Amino acid sequence: MKTIKGPGIFLAQFADDKAPFNSLEGMANWASKLGFAGVQIPSWDSRLLNLKRAAESQDYCDEVLGTLSSAGLALTEISTHLQGQLVASHAAYDVMLTGFAPPELAGDAKARQAWAVQQLKWAAAASRRLGLDAHATFSGALAWPFFYPWPQRPAGLIDEAFKELARRWLPILQVFDEAGVDVCFELHPGEDLHDGITFERFLAGVQDHPRANILYDPSHMVLQQLDYLAFLDLYHDRVRAFHVKDAEFRPSGRSGVYGGYQDWIDRPGRFRSLGDGQVDFRQIFSKMAQYDFPGWAVLEWECCLKHPQDGAAEGAAFIRDHIIHVTERAFDDFAGVGADQLKNRRILDME
């Protein structure tokens, strides 16, 4: 069995124009002082990482790793959540997603998608140079506007959407395969890949590609009322990244899973700082140990109530306290009698 690595922290929600949150060195020292052992870097934030340069220059990657090492940190993964969203986005979201790509691409969906694909390819090369074996991203959404089956969907609509999703991602998965890096899709409402069934549908479309894997985040499953523990029993062999994020779901007579278009603070389902929600992390970390999860436990802080600095400080200790240092031997080894085939056959009355 493997002991999960951690605690790590995703830097996206904390990056800012003010020091120490405006540079990788500043954020590394901040995270280290809070007790984190690793960081996940959002590749779209040039204050923290120049993705193109990382894809092309080993010297630059060595500088990035050196900056982290000087603070006592490792790099857990790099992320292309925003770029992944643009690999496959329905036209309904064109205006809302304008800020995810360079401003000169506004209004040109094809050019924006081509830019996103190039970003993912650079991420594969950068991950290889940085010594990583997993990458965090989103799938994008072609079918999401039609997730509820009313008005009645035309026959074949969802099949066509997933066929196109697979067509767009398969060449990217091939590039990651050549780099020796897993693509870990965060299963998330608003993405075509948001639960086990949609991941299975996608997996079939990419011919069970070995690099098509999962970023497990139980908070999104709480908000969908999905059994996040049974999910690990079903899909643990594809889980290659882990966001440790808490959530709660408290339905009322007025609002449920869909949230009534309310702000986060008023929704029945909302994200919480670690320990303030309903997620059973003791069982999750137990299953991660049981199934030999090979990666990092990475805090993704999102909470509509608590201050982010408090959430980060509490999160490092929370993850550290939940990591199970796995045993190297069975608890009843003291009573073992060794291996003896003849004795085993006598016990089974097979002589």
Query: Span 246-274, mean pLDDT?
Result: 98
Q: How many CA atoms lie within 13 A of 134 on its CB side?
A: 24
Angle between helices 196-205 and 228-235 (to 10 degrees): 20
Give the pLDDT band (50/70/90) at residue 1.
confident
Cα distances from 13 to residues 21, 93, 232, 257, 307, in angstroms, run: 10, 22, 26, 25, 12
Q: How many structural domains does the chain have?
A: 1
Give the CATH number, domain containing residue 190. 3.20.20.150
> Do 138 and 81 contact (CB within 8 A), yes or no?
yes
Q: In sequence order, what are the residues at sequence separation of 6 or more whose Cβ sits closer than 8 angstroms to the Cβ of residue 220?
A: 186, 187, 188, 189, 194, 247
User: What's the pLDDT tens digit per position in 234-252?
Assistant: 999 999 999 999 999 999 9
Q: Which amino acid is at 63?
A: E
Domain that holds residue 67: 5-347
Q: Per-residue pLDDT tens for 155-189? A: 999 999 999 999 999 999 999 999 999 999 999 99
